[in-house]
């Protein structure tokens, strides 16, 4: 049971695109509602298709702003609606189709938790993977006041839509040019990630030796410094960490819960002799299960009972660590 509303701001980065987070949410939901001004076929499959494949109910609302959405995408949405009785899709038709510009996603997870996204990202290849998108995530109970208001807002627009019909698809005329955020970029993103992994100049290793309670004054101070946007952060006094820059990758060895996590740094704050790093976890493994063996094969020795020394390592060691930690 979720007793407290939680919010955070998400940004898309090359190593941590919004697409991966959305797909995980969709694969663990029992219900998905989404609205987007523009939409691409592969993004539909990545998010909506993932939800439908697990038996979830889904609604999706879009429009014809600038007629940028491809006709083939509308055809794909129509085919999904035929294939899955639990899926309904509408085209916004308040006066004219062309002015719809909303972006909202709502998931009701199998755990009972609700997750809502409101922000700049369209349900397009670029919207889910480009750097530069900003999304506010809200988590709470499905019946909580904030989630109810978001549900009501979605349903209000949903009522203004018309079910996607064969007549609409057959008569729809797409624009000649694609919008910038709808161009397929998955291959380019994969190549960019590979280059970043291979040629990244440095890789740090540091430790976590104690956990700070969420309701403590220290945690409140740190969250205030990050403006409430950091869900994951580490507070440290080690001098090497003062050289860390956003985008740097590293290994956090948590000796409290005995987990090793490869992370990408998203933000940094210095407070006197203390350095605070906000990060997104890329891959996490338990010490006792297999993390120590994987790290040893990559050339990093971590003692089960002692925190590793904070230091910079060769970039190629970082590449090996990431590959070993990701390996099935």
Instruction: Give the pLDDT of the chain (328 residues) as one tens digit per residue.
Output: 445 788 988 877 655 578 888 888 999 999 999 999 889 888 898 899 999 988 999 999 999 887 888 899 999 999 999 999 999 999 987 555 557 888 999 999 988 899 999 998 888 877 777 667 789 999 999 999 999 999 999 999 999 999 999 999 989 888 776 655 555 444 444 444 444 443 346 799 999 999 999 889 998 888 888 776 778 899 999 999 998 888 888 999 998 999 999 998 888 898 889 999 998 888 999 998 889 999 999 988 888 777 788 999 888 888 899 889 988 7
Output the pLDDT for position 183: 52
Tell me how many degrees the CA angle 250-254-257 measures, rounded to the nearest 5: 145
User: Nearest to residue 193, comparing CAs of 20, 314, 8, 9?
Assistant: 20
For residue 186, what pLDDT is reported?
46
Domain boundaries of the chain, sorted by first residue: 6-178, 200-326
> Is 204 exposed, middle or buried (CB count within 10 Å of its CB: 0-12, 13-18, 19+)?
buried
Distance (Å, whole) CA 204 – CA 249: 7
CATH superfamily label, 200-326: Hypothetical protein. (2.30.130.30)
Which numeric CATH code is attached to 6-178?
3.30.870.10
Residues 6+ apart with CB under 8 A from 134: 9, 10, 11, 119, 120, 121
Locus of tokens 């509602």: 33
- Judge whether 73 and 60 are in contact, CB under 8 Å: no
Residue 114, CB-side half-sphere exposure with 13 Å CA sphere: 20
* Spatial separation of the C-alpha atoms in residues 181 and 183, rounded to whole Å: 6
User: What distance in Å separates the CA atoms of residue 288 and residue 290, rounded to the nearest whole number?
Assistant: 6
Question: Longest Cα pair distance anywhere in the chain, in angstroms?
Answer: 68
């Amino acid at each position: 049971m979720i007793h407290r509303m939680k919010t955070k701001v998400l940004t898309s980065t090359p190593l941590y695109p919004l697409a991966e987070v959305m797909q995980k949410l969709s694969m663990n939901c029992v219900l998905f509602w989404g609205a987007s001004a523009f939409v691409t076929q592969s993004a539909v499959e990545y998010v909506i298709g993932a939800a439908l494949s697990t038996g979830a109910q889904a609604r999706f609302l879009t429009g014809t702003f600038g007629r940028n959405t491809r006709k083939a995408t509308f055809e794909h949405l129509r085919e999904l609606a035929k294939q899955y009785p639990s899926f309904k899709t509408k085209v916004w038709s308040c006066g004219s189709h062309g002015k719809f510009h909303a972006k909202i996603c709502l998931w009701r997870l199998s755990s009972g938790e609700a997750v809502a996204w409101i922000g700049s990202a369209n349900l397009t290849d670029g919207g889910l993977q480009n750097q530069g998108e900003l999304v506010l995530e809200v988590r709470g109970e499905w019946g909580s006041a904030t989630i109810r208001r978001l549900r009501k807002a979605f349903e209000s627009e949903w009522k203004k839509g018309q079910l996607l019909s064969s007549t609409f698809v057959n008569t729809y005329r797409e624009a000649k040019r694609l919008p910038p955020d709808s161009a397929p970029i998955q291959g380019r993103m994969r190549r960019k990630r590979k280059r970043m992994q291979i040629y990244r100049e440095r890789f740090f290793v540091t430790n976590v030796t104690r956990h700070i309670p969420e309701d403590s004054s220290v945690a409140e101070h740190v969250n205030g410094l990050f403006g409430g946007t950091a869900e994951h952060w580490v507070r440290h006094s080690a001098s090497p960490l003062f050289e860390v820059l956003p985008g740097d990758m590293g290994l956090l060895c948590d000796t409290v819960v005995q987990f090793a996590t490869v992370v990408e740094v998203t933000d940094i704050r210095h407070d006197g002799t203390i350095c605070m790093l906000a990060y997104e976890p890329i891959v996490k493994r338990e010490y006792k299960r297999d993390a120590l063996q994987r790290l040893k094969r990559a050339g990093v020795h971590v003692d089960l009972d002692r925190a590793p020394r904070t230091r910079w390592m060769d970039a190629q060691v970082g590449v090996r660590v990431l590959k070993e930690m990701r390996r099935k």
